[in-house]
């Protein structure tokens, strides 16, 4: 109780605590980003072979989930000790190389840890100590994992988008506040509008061009935004995401010579726009509607 009171009374301590805890969560998010797609691929392969006559008895497979096996160097398979797994700091001390074999460690691991820490601190600064900050932290961590999985695999897994959606709807019934819509109807309408709007765009684009412009994971993520932020935030989110995505796509075509038909995942742009609206959306919407003397 004394720690909770101390965090509530000291904004600087609360922000610092969220920064450190965000770094630790970022380390776990690295595991989720790497392992969850592999887990899904194994699950799909197993489901595809169910009912088929086996050619030979398959060898037993090693357990693989978010907990086991223990993290190890991809090159030499040496286990990573606790001291070698301190977020960001261990990477700097080891100079970005494996302690056992000296193979270079991808800088993306500490980058994701640092991103998680910085965004967590920003959430603590914005919302202060209380339930809204906790809600916003969970929302932020989900978006980080979804962003990098989509970058790597062009996939927004149901294992993340659906829990995010249902959690937003559930919280609207219990602890509405600055993050969750003030009434459940706004969250429900937001979830429905978010899914149906992108679903309609997808099928219209496919009808006109014969190609798929986005995936079903985008619909579910957008529906989750509607559940967490309310239907009023959907238009600014899609506007920001589409504008930034178009600019990035043009830059990649001009600078890197990418084929215009090559697919760029839309999830990261949606996630970035959703997080910005989480942080500043209500102020932006209120200011915009205020220009026309309308209530948000």
For 123-179, the DSSP string reads HHHHH-SSHHHHHHHHHHHHHHHHHHHHHHHS---HHHHHHHHHHHHHHHHH--SSS
Residues 268 and 184 occupy one common structural domain: yes
Residues 274 and 292 occupy one common structural domain: yes
57, part of any domain: no
Q: Which residues of the chain are modeled with pLDDT < 70?
A: 1, 51-61, 176-179, 181-182, 256-262, 285, 287-296
240, part of any domain: yes
Question: Of the residues 106, 128, 150, which one is the last residue of a structural domain?
Answer: 128
Q: What is the pLDDT of residue 290?
A: 60
Q: What is the pLDDT of residue 18?
A: 95
Residues 148 and 115 occupy one common structural domain: no
Total of domains in the chain: 2
pLDDT tens digit sequence for 70-127: 888 878 888 888 888 889 999 999 888 888 888 898 999 999 999 999 999 999 999 9
Q: What is the pLDDT of residue 278?
A: 93
Does the pTM exceed 0.85? yes
Residues 2 and 120 occupy one common structural domain: yes
Residues 140 and 94 occupy one common structural domain: no
Residues 138 and 122 occupy one common structural domain: no
85, part of any domain: yes
Which residues constitute the domain of residue 119? 1-39+64-128
Question: Of the residues 75, 100, 128, which one is the last residue of a structural domain?
Answer: 128
- List Cβ<8 Å contacts ≥24 apart for 32-36: 32/66, 32/145, 32/149, 33/112, 33/145, 33/148, 33/149, 33/152, 35/64, 35/65, 35/66, 36/66, 36/145, 36/149, 36/157, 36/159, 36/160
Burial class (CB within 10 angstroms; exposed 0-12, middle 13-18, buried 19+) of 48? exposed
Residues 145 and 30 occupy one common structural domain: no
What the block records as the tokens of 40 is 């899904």
Measure the N-to-C terminal CA separation of the chain; round to a whole number of Å: 37
Residues 117 and 177 occupy one common structural domain: no
Q: What is the pLDDT of residue 182?
A: 66
pLDDT tens digit sequence for 262-275: 678 899 999 999 99
Q: What is the pLDDT of residue 258?
A: 61
Q: How far is CA 202 from CA 6, 196, 213, 223, 263, in A?
A: 50, 10, 6, 14, 14
Residue 101 φ/ψ region, left for φ over 0, alpha for ψ in the -120 to 50 degree band, beta for the rest: alpha
70, part of any domain: yes
59, part of any domain: no
Residues 98 and 197 occupy one common structural domain: no
């Amino acid at each position: 109780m004394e720690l909770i009171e101390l965090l509530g009374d000291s904004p600087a301590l609360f922000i610092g605590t969220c920064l450190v805890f965000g770094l630790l969560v970022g380390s776990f998010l690295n595991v989720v980003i790497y392992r969850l797609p592999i887990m899904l691929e194994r699950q799909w392969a197993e489901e595809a072979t169910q009912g088929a006559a086996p050619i030979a008895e398959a060898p037993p497979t090693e357990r693989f989930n978010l907990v086991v096996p223990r993290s190890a160097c991809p090159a030499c398979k040496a286990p990573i000790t606790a001291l070698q797994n301190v977020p960001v700091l261990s990477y700097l001390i080891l100079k970005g190389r494996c302690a056992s074999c000296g193979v270079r460690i991808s800088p993306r691991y500490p980058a994701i840890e640092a991103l998680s820490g910085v965004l967590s601190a920003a959430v603590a600064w914005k919302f202060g100590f209380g339930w809204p900050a906790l809600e916003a932290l969970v929302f932020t961590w989900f978006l980080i994992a979804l962003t990098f999985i989509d970058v790597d695999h062009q996939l927004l897994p149901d294992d993340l988008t659906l829990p995010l959606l249902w959690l937003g709807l559930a919280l609207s019934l219990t602890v509405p506040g600055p993050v969750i819509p003030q009434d459940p109807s706004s969250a429900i309408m937001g979830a429905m509008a978010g899914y149906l709007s992108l679903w309609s765009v997808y099928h219209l684009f496919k009808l006109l061009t014969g190609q798929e412009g986005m995936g079903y994971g985008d619909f579910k993520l957008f529906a989750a935004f509607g559940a967490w932020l309310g239907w009023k935030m959907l238009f600014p989110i899609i506007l920001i995401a589409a504008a930034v995505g178009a600019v990035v796509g043009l830059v990649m075509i001009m600078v890197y010579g990418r084929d215009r038909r090559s697919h760029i995942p839309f999830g990261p742009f949606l996630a970035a726009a959703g997080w910005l609206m989480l942080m500043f959306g209500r102020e932006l919407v209120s200011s915009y509607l205020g220009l026309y003397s309308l209530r948000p």
